[in-house]
Amino acid sequence: MQPQDTISYWLSYALRYVGSAFFEVLEAHCMERGKAYVITPAQWGMMALLSANGEQTIGMLAQQLSVDAPAITAVVRRLEQSGLVERVHDREDRRVVKVSLTAEGQDIIHSLNPVVAAFNEQLLSHDQRQVFLAQLQHLIARVSAVAPGTG
């Protein structure tokens, strides 16, 4: 079997290709707004979760993004250096660290919402996107059945 005949090949290729294009869109927006930082797709994902759900622990972010806690901590550190998020230790349990958007973080993520929506619409119409996302979710469920330890 050739790699081009596999689902894994095309998913990996699409992830790199779409991720690269998404990075360019995020970078262009940050540059247009005169920002000294550039939001990466991974940073955008975390910031979008914080915007939608409010303050989160590192563990909660890791679970929602299906990434290990050290990777989340590294992203948080970079965002913190750019002044986009802040970490606060829980008053009752100092071991618990909560992350929230700063005013600058809220500003940039809100300004990115229409940019991200337009990017998604350019890739697939709303109806096509709904079908595609349903197919991806079905694929993930099938993978979980084939390889229960996945994810």
66-85 pLDDT, tens digit per residue, is: 899 899 999 999 999 999 99
pLDDT at 151: 58
Average pLDDT score over the chain: 94
- Predicted structure pTM score: 0.88
Report the C-alpha gap between 52 and 21 in whole angstroms. Answer: 24
105 in Cβ contact with 85 (< 8 Å): yes
Phi, psi at residue 30, to the nearest 5°?
-60, -40
Which of 32, 3, 21 is CA-nearest to residue 108? 32
pLDDT at 75: 95
Q: Is the dihedral of CA 63, 25, 76, 15 positive or negative?
A: positive
Which parts of the chain sit beneath pLDDT 70? 151
pLDDT at 50: 97
Report the C-alpha gap between 32 and 45 in whole angstroms. Answer: 20
102 in Cβ contact with 84 (< 8 Å): yes
